[in-house]
Amino acid sequence: MELKITSMTEKHIPALAELERLCFSTPWTEQGLREELDNRTAHFIVAETGDQVAGYMGVFVVCESCYVSDIAVYPQFRRQGVASALIKKASADAAVLGAQSISLEVRPSNEAAVKLYRSLGFEDIGLRKRFYRDPEEDALIMTKVL
């Protein structure tokens, strides 16, 4: 599968909102995603294969820190390197913007994601109690030095 990673644009919004609804209990709305197009600290990237959106990732870069707000991949494109490609691109972009680290939260029960993040150099640094809803669960905080 050939992937193209590009910045999020208006044309991506409907597919990303659909992906959000598919993956998350509290998804971004089309309007919420659209508002990030003008946010200077927001950097949302999209993985495309052909004319299809395969996945996307949103990060916020502030001073020397980068925070991952979301990463999601359509089910038919999972386990094909989409998430890895997005994380590598976002990390490189954040480093260029001056970030020294990249951090995220993940459900500990999402074992595939935790394994992926660890394989890409993220380390466990803490736990946020009762961070997630539907179902309620703690969040594992993971960080990678860039």
* Catalytic residue list: 105, 117
Helix 82-96 vs helix 111-119: crossing angle, to nearest 10: 50
The CA dihedral of 21, 25, 28, 30, to the nearest 10 degrees, is: 30
Q: Most distant CA pair in the chain: distance in Å?
A: 41
What is the DSSP-derived secondary structure letter of residue 91?
H
The DSSP annotation for 59-77 comes to: EEEETTEEEEEEEEE-GGG
Distance CA 42, CA 58 (A): 7
